[in-house]
Amino acid sequence: MLERTLHRCTRLMGWALLAATFLVLLAVSNPAHAQSRNLAPGFAALPKGGTIIIMPTDIELFQISAGGVLEPKAEWTAAASKHFRTLLDDKRRRLDMKSVFLSEKEADEFAEINTLHAAVARAISQHHFGLGSMKLPTKADKLDWSLGEPVRAIKQKTGADYAFFSWIRDSYASGERVVTMIALALLGVGVGGGVQVGYASLVDLNTGQILWFNQLTRQSGDLRELEKARETLDALLTNFPVTK
């Protein structure tokens, strides 16, 4: 009797394992499912003919002093801004996206919307990609966020259908900071160096809905050099929706 019961349990466990394996394989083989955290419900790809307006990247670079103070570096920021625009231009051509850059004059006009995006992006990072305890039950783990009606002004001005927003902050340890880190490490105390944080969004200018979102939070990357900045852009644009 005991032997028969054990045999039956073994068979049930085998079927359960097989079913679980099937579900895992199904999830892995379904790209839409794998990207669902980056895409809004019901959105899978950009329609042909839609135009994307590329908003100016909100970018700033800092140096970390020996005491851990973030010191803005205007020269680094200017170089990073130039590199990022160059790389975005190259990327949009390679992706064959129908897109244009917002002019400097228009950029000043829509500066508040860029600031709004930064605030919403931080909320998405915290409540959608953050720890489970930080997630909002009302969102049901879906990318259900919007910039609201303000973005319609961009459509009225440019005629575009979508807007691409990006926000980046990057910091680098000074020589003095590195010495401090080594000295404290010898005492068994760990202190951090530079951190790279970035957000990118694709927004529907008719509704304000964020259709795609991605983020970077890491202790690597360098925006001060063109080719190194390319790796950051590629990482930030992971799973960017293609045109169909």
The DSSP bridge pattern shows strands 210-218 and 196-204 to be antiparallel
Structure confidence by residue, pLDDT tens digits, 110-154: 999 999 999 999 999 999 988 777 888 888 889 999 999 999 999
Mean pLDDT of the chain: 82
Cβ contacts of 49 within 8 Å, gap of 6 or more: 98
* Cut 0.85: pTM above it: no
Exposed e or buried b per residue across 222-238, where buried means at least 16 C-beta atoms within 10 angstroms of its C-beta: bbbeeeebbebbebbbe
Structure confidence by residue, pLDDT tens digits, 169-218: 998 876 666 666 666 566 666 656 678 999 999 999 999 999 999 999 99
Half-sphere exposure of 175 (CA within 13 A, CB side): 0
Backbone dihedral region of 132: left (phi > 0), alpha (psi from -120 to 50 degrees) or beta? alpha
Residue 244: its pLDDT value, please? 73
Cβ contacts of 32 within 8 Å, gap of 6 or more: 39, 44
Distance CA 177, CA 211 (A): 40
Compute how many other C-beta atoms are within 10 angstroms of the C-beta atom of residue 155. Answer: 17
Assess whether pLDDT exceeds 80 at residue 2: no
Half-sphere exposure of 2 (CA within 13 A, CB side): 0
Q: Which whole-number Å values give the CA distances from 59 to 1, 120, 165, 189, in the listed order?
A: 71, 16, 11, 31
